[in-house]
Amino acid sequence: MARRIQARRLEGVDKNIWVEFVSLAAQYKTVNLGQGFPDFSPPSYATEAFSKAITDEHSLLNQYTRAFGHPPLVKALAQMFGPLFGQELNPLTNVLVSVGAYGALFCAFQALVDEGDEVIIIEPFFDCYEPMTLMAGGQCVYVPLRPKPADDGRPPSSNDWRLDLAELEAKITKKTKVLVLNTPNNPLGKVFDKEELEEISHICVKHDLLCISDEVYEWLVYDGKQHVRIASLPGMWDRTITVGSAGKTFSATGWKVGWAFGPDCLLKHLRVVHQNSVYHCATGAQEAVAQGFQKELERLGQPDCYFVQLRDELQKKRDWLYHCLTEVGMKPMMSQGSYFMIADISRFKSEVPPPTDDNIPYDNYFTKWMMKHKQLASIPVSAFYSTPHKKQFENYIRFCFVKEDATLKAAEKILKKWSSESTGPKAQ
């Protein structure tokens, strides 16, 4: 009998939306509103710090640094985030720097989820939570956010998507160990408000659950809303790992610097995974991010703070994209945070030849058709759903608006031309 080569933990996790769609977007030379990355540079002081770190011949910044985070970076992270969590953070025990938020999340799932443990995942969800749970031997239990349109005539918004707390509680069993939260949420742009988070935190405390809170878009919250950290709520610090990303914070997704905050009793287990897998991430990038936080700490919340400037810039881009999508009849859902906005493509269905394979969710087929025939890339929202639920929201696609105005205008040109040539019902 032939010997099985691959480990069993790889079963069911072999497909990856980013691998597939990044390659297609390049192949069809698309205007890319698909994968979430800025097509502009990080702030120049950060790129200069990176470049200086690796070209200064007297520095050791091209060499290994401390395994769990470059000392200046963990110090800056502790200083910046301590007050935001309402905790005195010890840089050596309450902060772990890893290879992007992906690295921090992977350490968290490996460290906390055991064979047979159940993990609550709120749908739609950033796709990696599912394979990371499965690779740790856990079982995913999905709880949906459902759209409840406002009855006051307001346009649809990501915040109309609500969690039914009774439904959440009904899914908890003796095996439930972890709840995964993502706010602001990718792909909806929903920002959980304080009341929702308090209710979720009561459930975590009541059922003694751990919480992995992915907050990579924490600075990108629009319309004056506040980002609330669940770890700052009563009873939550000791049971929460909060994950962040320099990629999103400083518009430098390629640097792959991310982190986890938490109590030492949890973080010490993440450190074991980290030290035995990646050991540490690029020193030069960590040094630049450390300098970035040092600088922003001095002007936090002020108009010249990068986090304020980026947020304000992105809110304008979001508004612009919202109007563009509305004009062509794509029915966007106003996003409250993150890089993303979803839109309903029903009106364009008649413009696209019908799919031949009913097993593929319609939005997946549509986005591939649009890349190939219209040279415009987006991401199907079904990619953020578990297999049994993928077809529930297959009329939505996700657009990324952290792009130069020229890129957004190029997308507008494609959509307007397509819309004006279309034979279907026009936008209202």
Q: Among 30, 36, 138, 330, which residue sits at the site for ligand GLN (rule: CB under 6 A)?
A: 36
**CB nearest ligand PMP: which residue?**
100
Q: Which of 243, 260, 248 is nearest to 292 (CA)?
A: 248
Size of the site for ligand GLN (CB under 6 A): 4
Residue 258 lies near ligand PMP (rule: CB under 6 A): yes
Residue 157 lies near ligand GLN (rule: CB under 6 A): no
Contact 190, 130 (CB under 8 A): no
Q: Among 182, 251, 291, 382, which residue sits at the site for ligand PMP (rule: CB under 6 A)?
A: 182
Q: How far is the CB of 17 from ligand GLN (least distance, A)?
A: 8
Sheet holding 139-147, edge to edge: 95-99, 257-261, 240-245, 210-214, 176-182, 118-123, 139-147, 161-163
Residue 351: enclosing H or E segment and its boundaries?
A: none
Residue 39 lies near ligand GLN (rule: CB under 6 A): no
Which of the choices ligand GLN, ligand PMP, none does residue 245 contact, using the CB cut-off of 5 to 8 A by kind? ligand PMP
Residue 242 lies near ligand PMP (rule: CB under 6 A): no
- Nearest to ligand GLN of 133, 201 (CB atom): 133
Q: In this structure, what token pair is assigned to residue 384?
A: 């953020």
- Considering only 97-105, 110-118, 150-158, 265-273, which stretch makes contact with ligand PMP by CB under 6 A? 97-105
Q: Which residues contact 76 (CB under 8 A, 6 or more apart)?
A: 289, 290, 293, 294, 297
Q: CB pairs under 8 A, 24+ apart, for 420-428?
A: 422/348, 422/350, 422/351, 423/350, 423/351, 424/347, 424/348, 424/349, 424/350, 424/351, 425/329, 425/347, 426/329, 427/326, 427/327, 427/328, 427/329, 427/347, 428/329
Q: How far is the CB of 82 from ligand PMP (least distance, A)?
A: 21
- Nearest to ligand GLN of 91, 124 (CB atom): 124
Rounded Cα–Cα distance for residues 198 and 201 (Å): 5
Write out the binding residues for ligand PMP, residues 139-168 only, by CB under 6 A. none
Rounded Cα–Cα distance for residues 79 and 414 (Å): 46
Q: Among 186, 286, 335, 407, which residue sits at the site for ligand GLN (rule: CB under 6 A)?
A: 186
Residue 138 lies near ligand GLN (rule: CB under 6 A): no
Q: How far is the CB of 214 from ligand PMP (least distance, A)?
A: 5
Q: How many residues does the chain have?
A: 428
Which of the choices ligand GLN, ligand PMP, none does residue 18 contact, using the CB cut-off of 5 to 8 A by kind? ligand GLN
Size of the site for ligand PMP (CB under 6 A): 13
3-state secondary structure 234-300: CCCHHHEEEEEEHHHHCCCHHHCEEEEECCHHHHHHHHHHHHCCCCCCCHHHHHHHHHHHHHHHHCC
Q: Among 38, 42, 91, 100, which residue sits at the site for ligand PMP (rule: CB under 6 A)?
A: 100
Q: In this structure, what token pair is assigned to residue 166?
A: 């009774």
Q: Among 13, 24, 28, 35, which residue sits at the site for ligand GLN (rule: CB under 6 A)?
A: 35
Residue 369 lies near ligand GLN (rule: CB under 6 A): no
CA 192, 196, 200, 205: dihedral to nearest 10 degrees?
120
Q: In this structure, what token pair is assigned to residue 413?
A: 């040109």
- Nearest to ligand PMP of 172, 180 (CB atom): 180
Q: Among 68, 81, 85, 102, which residue sits at the site for ligand PMP (rule: CB under 6 A)?
A: 102
Q: How far is the CB of 390 from ligand GLN (least distance, A)?
A: 17
The residues of the shown chain that bind ligand PMP, judged by CB under 6 A, are 36, 100-102, 126, 182, 186, 214, 216, 245, 247, 253, 258
The residues of the shown chain that bind ligand GLN, judged by CB under 6 A, are 18, 35-36, 186
